């Protein structure tokens, strides 16, 4: 502990590493069978903001025979100090070296955190590649949304879990513990684990390339399954949920409680990764949410509780839920926040219910500035409806509006961008006192979506469109944010990447690339140099793909059929909309089952 | 108040609420909590405790808690004070116990009083420091100490926010004890607040020709009796 204090005195933000938060779980090391270090490969303040991370922490500690402690990618200052003093990376709960645990399990939710995996492994004195680890090392596991294309990180992990962990985790632990008793080798463990739906063991396969392109993934053993299907929880109501989450001491990115009211989304936006991989839409009942909110407040003291879902408006009876929560929390000084509101009038009613007398700002992700383009991406929003919404919002005193857009969308032309400029000007005209904040991200084609074959737009085109926007929207009422092109470029490469990227990531990491999702740390020249040195053309990862081309994630299924994705893509090009999915009322036959 | 300590921590307390003044220690790794995080940390624990904390008015009501002179990151404290307002009377021992249940063992309240007369900053007399240091050149160190003791005034330059200020250490330090322990020295300083300005423990080390290495610093906030 004294060693640790000497180090912490020298780092910029020691509070990231002190543990001691309210609701952490510390168990007797000698009284459990399985010890898990749960890792998030980004800084503490990012990792602790992810609900998925807290859910896994809770699921693991919920088992009497299992303990789970946390570890995050340390800041560069602490990384250097640990190396200099030859100290291993430690868990936050008991400051134990990570390589003392049975499992090191990573929660992965963003491709640009992948270098953090290598930092954590290396600082824990664990070999980075799975082929170099025998039974004496912890089992290295990954899960989370981005592993639906597991290939770019396939060489680092022993086991990758595809899907939602709530049910499967217990099965995995049981199999593991039985194997541990048996003292058999790792292959024996893998043989047993692959019987569990959702388990993918990358080392059982070999990737084949032809003319510099991915060709296929072949199983090395007859018992390795050729298709891995995503595992999900069908009854969200019965899924365990942490109403006693860890309350951080230092401020984090999302410094509030979160209750997941709904999982999945019925809107079928064609670019949206979450919209495809979390199908079908499932939700918790009003009574359960009220109970969770009460428990969460008592266990955390949070001033704000966020009601998480991909599309709040679509929660059945959302008004009734908000009325009930307002009633339950009368006089308790708790705010409820609603992310992902659609830009319609109903949203204003909902926002009024949660904001009461305070009119902070309204945020709408309208994604594209023209109706034509919104039809392409299936973001069903009519301009007329949008303006009616704004009209009401302004008349009720919401003068601050935040709008999220994407640029570089399929079929987008400069004309769409000029029309976006006109749209914003029209808003300002409507209300001269309005403050409009615009945020432009760059479209990244994601696996398992209808746009998985699309190209990631060229730098020049994006820069040209940015400058059209910048020049056209010079006004004191407007502020504009553009996402960094290099960052999206790297995200695009890794989103649709293959196994060759494991080597590239390792080399970039060795050359000092860290925290690629932080503008101040991203060094794109390192990556360009490595692609060049290894003679791998990054263009292959970002260009448009033909429909019959093998894709590196073809062996992973999230339930949505490829033929449905192709059909949706065709509709996109024709500007045809797909109505929201309502099981039993309006089904578009995507292939996902609503029952287990 | 000078630039060093932001005014945001001072909430003015109204008459119809009951004000309690509590003392707590913070040690171990909790010494790394920053003063901004401390306010949130204390507020959430208080909200969990179920105590009837009073809130500020306005669009963004906050629990009425005010911390005194903020304790810098990385410094342990034997005694820090804070004021809270409750909307109705609770026996002071219960206030302390209920709140403590929501706090980690390295940060606990150990003293409480009701209805203080003035604001915490006003009621602060000064801060005592224990500095554990490693001395390179012992002879020079002892000479510096002797010179300090004999002088009537010793000016040093300190940073206060954006400004550099010249302050007289002799006016602030009213008692000093030095003790040798193994190969280290222990300095105990009793300092007083003058015109809302205080000195920080490590600033004392400015008097030395060869600056000793500071190993640990513990502080204790003293109130007017």
| Residue in A19, A300, A358 closest to B48 by CB | A300
* Count of pairs with CB atoms under 8 A, one residue in A, one in B: 67
Q: pLDDT of B112-130, one tens digit each?
A: 999 888 999 999 999 999 9
A19 touching B (Cβ < 8 Å): yes
Best residue in B28, B31, B42, B44 for a mutation probing chain A (most A CBs within 10 Å): B44
Of all residues in chain B, the one with the smallest CA distance to A9 is: B74
Whether the pLDDT of residue B16 is over 80: the answer is no
Q: Which of A196, A229, A262 is the last residue of a domain?
A: A229
pLDDT value at residue B1: 37
CA distance, residue B104 to nearest chain A CA (Å): 7
Say yes or no for a CB contact (<8 Å) between B37 and A5. Answer: no
A500 neighbors A209 (Cβ within 8 angstroms) = yes
A22 touching B (Cβ < 8 Å): yes
In a domain, A494, yes or no: no
| Res. A382 pLDDT band, cuts 50 70 90 | very high
Average pLDDT, chain B: 91
| Res. B12 pLDDT band, cuts 50 70 90 | very low
Ramachandran angles phi, psi of B59, nearest 5°? -65, -30
Percent of chain A at pLDDT > 90 equals 89
CA distance, residue B34 to nearest chain A CA (Å): 8
A95 neighbors A131 (Cβ within 8 angstroms) = no
| Residue in B28, B45, B74 closest to A9 by CB | B74
In a domain, A438, yes or no: yes
Q: Which residues of B touch A301 (CB under 8 A)?
A: 43-48, 102
Q: Which residues of A touch B104 (CB under 8 A)?
A: 20, 22
A25 touching B (Cβ < 8 Å): no
Instruction: Name the domain count of chain A.
Output: 2
Q: Which of A178, A197, A229 is the last residue of a domain?
A: A229
Q: Is A264 helix (H, G, I), strand (E, B) or coil?
A: coil
Say yes or no for a CB contact (<8 Å) between B102 and A301. Answer: yes
Q: pLDDT of A20-61, one tens digit each?
A: 999 999 999 999 999 999 999 999 999 999 999 999 999 999
Whether the pLDDT of residue A451 is over 80: the answer is yes
Same domain, yes or no: A418 and A284:
yes
Strand A34-40: give its sheet, edge to edge: A66-72, A34-40, A103-107, A139-143, A159-161, A199-200
| Res. A591 pLDDT band, cuts 50 70 90 | confident
Q: Which residues of A306-345 are buried (b: 16+ CB within 10 A; e: fewer)?
A: bbbbbbbbbbeebeebbebbeeebeeeebbbbbebbbbbe
Same domain, yes or no: A265 and A390:
yes
pLDDT value at residue A357: 60
The pTM of the full predicted model, rounded to 2 decimals, is 0.94
Same domain, yes or no: A260 and A361:
yes
pLDDT value at residue A309: 95
Domain B7-116: assigned CATH number: 3.30.70.580
Q: Distance between CA A168 and CA A154 in Å, rounded?
A: 20
Say yes or no for a CB contact (<8 Å) between B37 and A250. Answer: yes
Quick one: CA torsion of A492, A498, A504, A506, rounded to 10 degrees? 110
Q: What is the CATH number of the domain that holds A477?
A: 3.80.30.20
Q: Which residues of A touch B32 (CB under 8 A)?
A: 8, 14-15, 18
Q: Distance between CA A473 and CA A421 in Å, rounded?
A: 6
Listed in order, the ranges of chain B carrying CATH 3.30.70.580 are 7-116
| Residue in A14, A19, A22 closest to B74 by CB | A14
Ramachandran angles phi, psi of B114, nearest 5°? -100, 155
CA distance, residue A361 to nearest chain B CA (Å): 14
A122 touching B (Cβ < 8 Å): no
pLDDT value at residue A6: 84
| Residue in B33, B37, B48 closest to A301 by CB | B48
CA distance, residue B81 to nearest chain A CA (Å): 19
Say yes or no for a CB contact (<8 Å) between A301 and B47. Answer: yes
CA distances from A501 to A26, A534, A536, B40 (A): 37, 11, 10, 42
Q: Which residues of B touch A14 (CB under 8 A)?
A: 29, 32, 73-74
| Tokens coding B195 | 């015109």
Q: Which residues of B touch A15 (CB under 8 A)?
A: 32-34, 37, 73
A9 touching B (Cβ < 8 Å): yes
CA distance, residue B147 to nearest chain A CA (Å): 31
**Residues belonging to chain B with any Cβ–Cβ distance to chain A shorter than 8 Å:** 28-30, 32-34, 36-37, 40-41, 43-48, 55, 59-61, 63, 73-74, 102, 104, 106
Q: Distance between CA A519 and CA A522 in Å, rounded?
A: 5
CA distance, residue A105 to nearest chain B CA (Å): 26
Whether the pLDDT of residue A209 is over 70: the answer is yes
pLDDT value at residue A593: 79
Say yes or no for a CB contact (<8 Å) between B29 and A302. Answer: no
Q: pLDDT of A98-145, one tens digit each?
A: 999 999 999 999 999 999 999 999 999 999 999 999 999 999 999 999
The boundaries of the domain holding residue A48 are 2-229
| Res. A270 pLDDT band, cuts 50 70 90 | very high
Whether the pLDDT of residue A365 is over 60: the answer is yes
| Res. B9 pLDDT band, cuts 50 70 90 | very low
Residues with Cβ within 8 Å of A452's Cβ and at least 6 positions away in sequence, in order, are A445, A446, A496, A545, A551, A565
pLDDT value at residue A584: 67
Same domain, yes or no: A299 and A180:
no
Residues with Cβ within 8 Å of B79's Cβ and at least 6 positions away in sequence, in order, are B23, B24, B25, B111, B220, B221, B222
A94 touching B (Cβ < 8 Å): no
pLDDT value at residue B172: 97
Percent of chain B at pLDDT > 90 equals 81
Best residue in B35, B36, B42, B48 for a mutation probing chain A (most A CBs within 10 Å): B48
Say yes or no for a CB contact (<8 Å) between A251 and B37. Answer: yes
Which residues of chain A from 531 to 560 reach within 8 Å of chain B, CB to CB?
none
Q: pLDDT of A404-420, one tens digit each?
A: 999 999 999 999 999 99
**Alpha helices (H) in A128-164, listed in sequence order:** none
Say yes or no for a CB contact (<8 Å) between B48 and A299. Answer: yes
Same domain, yes or no: A205 and A284:
no
Same domain, yes or no: A220 and A240:
no
Say yes or no for a CB contact (<8 Å) between A20 and B104. Answer: yes
CA distance, residue A333 to nearest chain B CA (Å): 7
In a domain, A306, yes or no: yes
Whether the pLDDT of residue B213 is over 70: the answer is yes
Say yes or no for a CB contact (<8 Å) between A20 and B60. Answer: no
Say yes or no for a CB contact (<8 Å) between A333 and B55. Answer: yes
pLDDT value at residue B58: 82
Whether the pLDDT of residue A1 is over 80: the answer is no
| Res. A596 pLDDT band, cuts 50 70 90 | low
- Of A146, A56, A74, give the one whose Cα is nearest residue A108: A146
Quick one: CA torsion of A419, A420, A426, A427, rounded to 10 degrees? 170
What average pLDDT score do residues A388-392 get? 92
| Tokens coding A41 | 């490969």
Same domain, yes or no: A191 and A259:
no
Same domain, yes or no: A193 and A248:
no
Q: Torsion-angle region of residue A519: left (phi > 0), alpha (psi -120 to 50) or beta? A: alpha
Q: Please give the class, per CATH, of domain B125-223.
A: alpha beta
Whether the pLDDT of residue A491 is over 60: the answer is yes
Q: What is the CATH number of the domain that holds A64?
A: 3.40.50.280
Within chain B, strands assigned E span 18-26, 65-67, 76-86, 107-114, 124-134, 155-160, 163-168, 173-181, 184-192, 213-223
B154 neighbors B207 (Cβ within 8 angstroms) = yes
CA distance, residue B13 to nearest chain A CA (Å): 19
Bridge partners for A566 per DSSP: none
Q: Distance between CA A199 and CA A190 in Å, rounded?
A: 9
pLDDT value at residue B173: 97
Average pLDDT, chain A: 95
Q: pLDDT of B155-188, one tens digit each?
A: 999 998 889 999 999 999 999 999 998 889 999 9
Of all residues in chain B, the one with the smallest CA distance to A331 is: B55
Same domain, yes or no: A192 and A285:
no
Q: pLDDT of A281-307, one tens digit each?
A: 999 999 999 999 999 999 999 999 999
Strand A257-260: give its sheet, edge to edge: A257-260, A304-308, A335-337
The ipTM value here is: 0.91
Q: Name the DSSP letter for residue B12.
A: P
- Of A252, A255, A300, A259, give the one whose Cα is nearest residue B44: A300
Q: Which of A229, A246, A281 is the last residue of a domain?
A: A229
Say yes or no for a CB contact (<8 Å) between A249 and B46. Answer: no
pLDDT value at residue A557: 96
A252 touching B (Cβ < 8 Å): no
Say yes or no for a CB contact (<8 Å) between B45 and A22. Answer: yes
Q: Which residues of B touch A250 (CB under 8 A)?
A: 33-34, 37
Same domain, yes or no: A381 and A398:
yes
CA distance, residue A79 to nearest chain B CA (Å): 18
Same domain, yes or no: A186 and A278:
no
In a domain, A304, yes or no: yes
Give the residue carrying structure tokens 């006693």: A244
Q: pLDDT of B56-115, one tens digit each?
A: 988 788 999 999 899 999 999 999 999 999 999 999 999 999 999 999 999 999 999 998
pLDDT value at residue B43: 96
Same domain, yes or no: A191 and A240:
no
Q: Which residues of B touch A5 (CB under 8 A)?
A: 29
Say yes or no for a CB contact (<8 Å) between A358 and B59. Answer: yes
Q: Which residues of A touch B102 (CB under 8 A)?
A: 22, 301
| Res. A358 pLDDT band, cuts 50 70 90 | low
CA A368-A370-A374 angle, to 5 degrees, is: 55
CA B33-B34-B38 angle, to 5 degrees, is: 75
Q: pLDDT of A147-168, one tens digit each?
A: 999 999 999 999 999 999 998 9
Q: Which residues of B4-14 are buried (b: 16+ CB within 10 A; e: fewer)?
A: bbeeebbbebe
- Of B60, B54, B68, give the one whose Cα is nearest residue B15: B54
């Amino acid at each position: 502990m004294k060693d640790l204090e000497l180090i912490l005195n020298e780092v910029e933000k020691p509070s990231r590493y002190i543990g001691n938060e309210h609701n952490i779980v510390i168990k007797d090391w000698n009284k459990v069978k399985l010890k898990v270090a749960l890792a998030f490969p980004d800084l503490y303040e990012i990792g602790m903001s992810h609900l998925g991370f807290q859910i896994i922490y809770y699921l693991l500690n919920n088992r009497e025979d299992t303990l789970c402690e946390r570890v995050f990618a340390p800041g560069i200052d602490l990384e250097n100090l640990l190396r200099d003093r030859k100290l291993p990376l430690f868990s936050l709960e008991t400051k134990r070296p990570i390589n003392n645990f049975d499992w090191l399990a990573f929660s992965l939710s963003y491709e640009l955190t992948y270098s953090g995996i290598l930092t954590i492994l290396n600082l824990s004195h664990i070999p980075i590649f799975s082929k170099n680890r025998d039974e004496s090392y912890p089992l290295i596991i990954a899960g989370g949304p981005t592993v639906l294309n597991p290939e770019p990180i396939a060489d680092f992990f022993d086991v990758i879990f595809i899907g939602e962990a709530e049910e499967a985790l217990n099965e995995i632990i049981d199999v593991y513990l039985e194997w541990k008793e048996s003292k058999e080798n790792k292959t024996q463990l893998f043989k047993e684990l692959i019987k569990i739906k959702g388990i993918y063991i990358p080392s059982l396969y070999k990737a084949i390339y032809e003319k510099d392109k991915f060709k296929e993934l072949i199983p090395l053993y007859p018992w390795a399954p050729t298709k891995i299907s995503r595992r999900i929880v069908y009854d969200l109501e019965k899924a365990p949920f942490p109403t006693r989450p860890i309350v951080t001491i230092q401020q984090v990115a999302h410094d509030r409680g979160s209750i997941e009211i709904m999982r999945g989304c019925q809107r079928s936006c064609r670019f949206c990764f979450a919209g495809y991989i979390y199908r079908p839409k499932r939700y918790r009942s009003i009574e359960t949410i009220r109970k969770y909110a009460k428990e969460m407040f008592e266990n955390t003291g949070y001033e704000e509780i966020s009601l998480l879902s991909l599309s709040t408006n679509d929660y059945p009876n959302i008004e009734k839920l908000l009325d009930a929560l307002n009633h339950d929390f009368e006089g308790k000084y708790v705010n409820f926040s609603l992310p992902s509101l659609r830009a319609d009038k109903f949203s204003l009613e909902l926002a009024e219910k949660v904001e009461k007398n305070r009119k902070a700002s309204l945020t709408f992700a309208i994604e594209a500035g023209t109706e034509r383009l919104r039809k392409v991406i299936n973001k069903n929003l009519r301009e007329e409806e949008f303006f009616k919404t704004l009209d009401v919002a302004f008349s009720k005193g919401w003068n601050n509006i935040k709008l999220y857009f994407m640029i570089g969308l399929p079929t987008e032309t400069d004309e769409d961008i000029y029309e976006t400029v006109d749209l914003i000007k029209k808003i300002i005209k409507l209300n001269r006192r309005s403050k409009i904040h615009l945020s432009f991200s760059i479209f990244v084609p994601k696996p398992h979506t209808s746009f998985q074959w699309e190209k990631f737009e060229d730098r020049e085109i994006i820069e040209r469109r940015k400058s059209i926007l910048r020049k056209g929207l010079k006004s004191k009422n407007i502020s504009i944010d553009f996402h960094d092109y290099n960052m999206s470029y790297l995200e695009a490469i890794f989103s649709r990447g293959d196994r060759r990227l494991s080597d590239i990531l390792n080399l970039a990491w060795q050359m000092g690339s860290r925290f690629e999702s932080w503008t101040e740390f991203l060094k794109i020249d390192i990556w360009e140099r490595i692609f060049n040195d290894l003679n791998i053309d990054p263009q292959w990862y970002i260009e448009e793909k033909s429909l019959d081309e093998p894709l590196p994630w073809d062996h992973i299924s999230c339930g949505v059929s490829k033929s449905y994705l192709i059909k949706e893509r065709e509709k996109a090009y024709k500007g045809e909309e797909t109505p929201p999915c309502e099981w039993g009322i309006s089904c578009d036959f995507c292939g996902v089952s609503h029952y287990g | 108040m000078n630039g060093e300590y932001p005014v945001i921590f001072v909430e003015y307390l109204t008459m119809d609420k009951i004000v309690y003044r509590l003392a707590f220690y913070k040690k171990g790794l909790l010494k790394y909590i920053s003063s901004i995080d401390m306010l949130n940390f204390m507020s959430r624990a208080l909200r969990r405790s179920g105590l009837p904390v009073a809130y500020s008015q306005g669009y963004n009501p906050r629990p009425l808690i005010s911390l005194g002179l903020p304790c810098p990151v990385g410094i342990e404290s034997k005694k820090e004070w804070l004021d809270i307002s409750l909307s109705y009377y609770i026996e002071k021992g219960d206030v302390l116990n209920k709140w403590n249940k929501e706090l980690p063992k390295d940060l606990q309240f150990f003293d409480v009083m009701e209805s203080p007369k003035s604001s915490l900053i006003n009621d602060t007399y000064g801060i005592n420091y224990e500095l554990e240091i490693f001395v390179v050149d012992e002879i020079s160190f002892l000479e510096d100490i002797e010179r300090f003791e004999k002088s009537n005034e010793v000016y040093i330059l300190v940073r206060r926010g954006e400004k550099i200020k010249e302050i007289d250490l002799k006016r602030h330090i009213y008692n000093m004890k030095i003790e040798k322990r193994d190969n280290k020295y222990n300095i105990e300083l009793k300092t007083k607040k003058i015109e809302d300005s205080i000195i920080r423990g490590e600033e004392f080390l400015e008097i030395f020709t060869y600056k000793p290495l500071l190993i640990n610093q513990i502080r204790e906030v003293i109130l007017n009796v």
